[in-house]
Structure 1
Amino acid sequence: MKRLLIVAHAPSSNTQALRDAAERGASHPDITDIEVVTKPPLDAGPKDVLACHAILLGTTENLGYMSGALKDFFDRSYYAVLEEKQGLPCALYVRAGHDGTGTRRAVESIVTGLRWRWVQEPLILHGEWRDGYVEEVEELGRYLAAGLEAGVL
């Protein structure tokens, strides 16, 4: 069974709803051969990355950068997974109060160094909160899990 790891920072009820939506989408009843593991960045680490077959990252935009928790996850995991997880399929969603540009660039820079493989453009959820964000993130989780199950990622 393949494993999809969701590492998402969720400090508010809205971002918790996004993390839950990602997990719900990835755990869709039609997707039967994927194990979904969801962890906050401070609880996730290299062992989790080494055990997964794809990763979905979620972060808030904090002062034009990724959350400190997600940065900590990368700091603790980077060198431990660098050689073994090249080509890891990945995706990102950012809950951005502004435009999310700095956050996106920061995560893309680290992912490029890790040589992970983007399976779609980062999903930037910017501006005032909209309930539709939940549906977008759920769809992203479902897409990743279904693609992983089908062997196209």
Structure 2
Amino acid sequence: MPARQLLIVAHAPSPNTRKLVDAVLRGARHEDIDNVETRWLPPLEAGPDDVRRADGIVLGTTENLGYMSGALKDFFDRSYYPVLEEKQGLPCAVYIRAGHDGTGTRRALESILTGLRWRLVQDILLCRGDWQDSFVEQCEELGLAMAAGLDAGIY
């Protein structure tokens, strides 16, 4: 059976947000995961063809002015309609690095994911407020859970 493909599309403009991407990758590439290939693309480099190849997706963004990053919005602007019909039901997970409350970012992403008919397989992870080292552990768990679900054929 060919390996399942997990795509991570995450904006990482700072050392701390890069730690979050690395944590998701570390979790998704855990030694107990046998049949999942994981790759990360920054949103400005990801597009519809990458989504088409994916069996699951993790989206990561910063909160910018109460909204998702412009880079992730650009990814959706370029990818939404080209994948709308063929990727319905795509399992996805989301983390948001929110310096404030993250509410606007969460609402915007939930709206887009509902329109795409992608399936959130776990609650949106909101890393809110001042930086906490626990954000790294939470993102690692998110990556592991997503990859484990793909590996086990649950998603």
Name the TM tier (shorter chain). Answer: over 0.9
> How far 1:74 sits from its partner (Å)?
0.3
- What is the CA–CA distance in structure 2 between the aligned matches of 1:29 and 1:122, rounded to whole Å? 25
- What is the CA–CA distance in structure 2 between the aligned matches of 1:8 and 1:20, rounded to whole Å? 10
TM-score, normalised relative to structure 2: 0.98
Match of 2:142 among 140, 143, 146: 140
Match of 1:127 among 97, 112, 129: 129
- What is the CA–CA distance in structure 2 between the aligned matches of 1:37 and 1:12, rounded to whole Å? 19
> How far 1:32 sits from its partner (Å)?
1.4
Deviations 1:4-46 (A, max 9, x none): 0000000000000000000110000110100001100000000
Match of 1:37 among 32, 36, 39: 39
| Aligned-partner SS, 2:64 | coil
- In the alignment, residue 77 of structure 2 is paired with which amino acid? D
Match in the other structure for 1:62 = 64
- What is the CA–CA distance in structure 1 between the aligned matches of 2:28 and 2:130, rounded to whole Å? 26
- What is the CA–CA distance in structure 1 between the aligned matches of 2:26 and 2:75, rounded to whole Å? 23
Deviations 1:102-132 (A, max 9, x none): 0000011111000000101100000000001
Match in the other structure for 1:20 = 22
- In the alignment, residue 65 of structure 2 is paired with which amino acid? L
Match in the other structure for 1:74 = 76
| Aligned-partner SS, 1:6 | strand
- What is the CA–CA distance in structure 1 between the aligned matches of 2:21 and 2:47, rounded to whole Å? 18
Match in the other structure for 2:55 = 53
Kindly report structure 1 stretches of 4+ aligned residues shifted beyond 6 Å: none
Number of residue pairs matched by the alignment: 153
- In the alignment, residue 21 of structure 1 is paired with which amino acid? A
TM-score, normalised relative to structure 1: 0.99
Structure 2 gaps, min length 5: none
- In the alignment, residue 23 of structure 2 is paired with which amino acid? A
> Between the two proteins, what is the percent identity of the paired residues?
68
Q: Aligned-pair RMSD on alpha carbons?
A: 0.4
Match in the other structure for 1:104 = 106
- What is the CA–CA distance in structure 2 between the aligned matches of 1:12 and 1:37, rounded to whole Å? 19
